[in-house]
Structure 1
Amino acid sequence: MTDDFLAEKTQASDWFRSLRDEIVAAFEGLEQSHDTGPLSDAEPGTFEVTETSRASDDGSDAGGGLMSVMRGGRVFEKVGVNVSTVYGTLGERAQAAMAARKGIPGMKDDPRFWASGISLVAHMQNPHAPAVHMNTRMFWTPHASWFGGGSDLNPCIEYAEDTAHFHATQQAHLDPHGADLYPRLKAWADEYFYIPHRKRARGVGGIFMDDHSTGDWEADFALTQDIGRAFLPAYVPLVAARRVMPWDAADKDAQLVHRGLYAEYNLVYDRGTKFGLETGHDANAVLMSLPPLAKWV
């Protein structure tokens, strides 16, 4: 595919891959350094990396990515860090959804698309250590292009100081882009990561944006990068502090019940899950976000 955004696409795709590499290294570092507390005598976890591909209707190259999953580690029970760059044409259902949600004219006449991004979900061994989600992405069509993404914290046992740190770190990374940005993206996350049928949020919030296009691509990309850069300093200190705490059967039970909320949200409401499945991306990669175990009462 050739278009005026070729250089920008390459720049964005390269950034998402470099962020993936940084996060994978940091998470494996947490596994290696966990030498005190529960499961510290277990083997440290490492990521299993698998190439993924998108299935196109005519068998042509439609892109793909890397699915990196760690299971059964000292710290992480299951964590996935995926990157992908996919392209081709949107099917009729995806075209209709895009036109309805974004009001983009001309999709039926020219349904080409290109999308690249990183998606991460971590489910922890220790119930005191919070689960987390993060993704950032760039989406292009011949009619419009935009950025989206964010991150949110999902503890089953809440600590006010953890929530405060997570939000403060994100705000510090967003404030240089405008003082109004963090409050707006925080409110958007509160609305987006809400489970209507449970009448509650799935966690303690974070930041979220979609359809972000101000007309200044460089500024929009810089904001997307800083959303990604905020993730490790917002999250890693929380894991480092909580991974050493003892837990009991009641704590684990609370964790499994909370994971049920996470599974319900991702299967019923999450836009990324719906888009990935509708456009033919690797189902295992799309559903990587689901917890290894969950419980419903």
Structure 2
Amino acid sequence: MRFQPRPACRIVPGRRFASERPGHDGIGQSMGRRIAGARPAGEDKSEGLVRAVDRALGLLERVSDAPRGIALAQLAAEADLAASTAHRLLSTLEDRGFVRFERASGRWFIGRTALAVGAGYAGSRDMVACAQPILKRLGQACGETVNLGMLDEGKVVFLHRFEARTRRAFVPSGTSLPAHCSSIGKALLSVLPFAEVREAVSADRLVPVTAKTMCSRDVFMSALEETRRAGFALDDEENTPGLRCIAAPVFDAYHRPVAAVSLAAPVERLELGQVAECGRKVAAAARELTQAWSGARL
């Protein structure tokens, strides 16, 4: 596959990227049940419990056990709560990022904050730790900078990087970029549910960053379709002039995208004719990380 440059757009001074709610994500399995602390013999273990917290955590457990999402009515019935009460509790959890609501399906899903909490418990399955040797091998094989990143409120956050050269092409860990003009963002958007993608690519969010940023929704959606077919995404100087990046998604055990592996290089070292070959290597590294971290096979 040979990627062709996309139509350029006019840069509007002062325009900023509008962030969105967290994208589709999940921890891939139940966070586990609450554990009661030691209590004196004969003491009622319900004493000391905060009822609203107990109910909210019960809802969170049920959402985490529903990888395909769960409707409010079912949640309320299973928890023996009024729908209005369940909705208030879920809204509070949503505000903290523990759950998220998908308007298109009317279902609730586990959120990214739950992923962070789960990762704190399952330290042996830390994604960055799993990724480090894989990123190192990819960086050494290609001789370029390799990154691990994820989506957070409509932007890409870089979690880890490996430098293979002294002439660097990277952004520091913790830096965020608009999703629509980064290879990691496009790789993850390409495998998200259509409703989330549609919200992410609304006209007011496709803000130009460089002269090559895709600002047309039709052009951007076409690029996402190309990304789905190829198995990797290309950022062709859309975020930084003179820099090309390639990325592929990493999935959890339920085949939900949680992060992406990317390779970044100056355009003189990564020509368009080399994109397909490098893309296959990046996609292979992302599959390897998916299996190492979640046990899933793609």
Same fold by TM-score greater than 0.5: no
Query: Higher RCO, 1 or 2 (CA under 8 Å, sep at least 6)?
Result: 2
Larger Rg: 2
Q: Structure 1 length normalisation: TM-score? A: 0.32
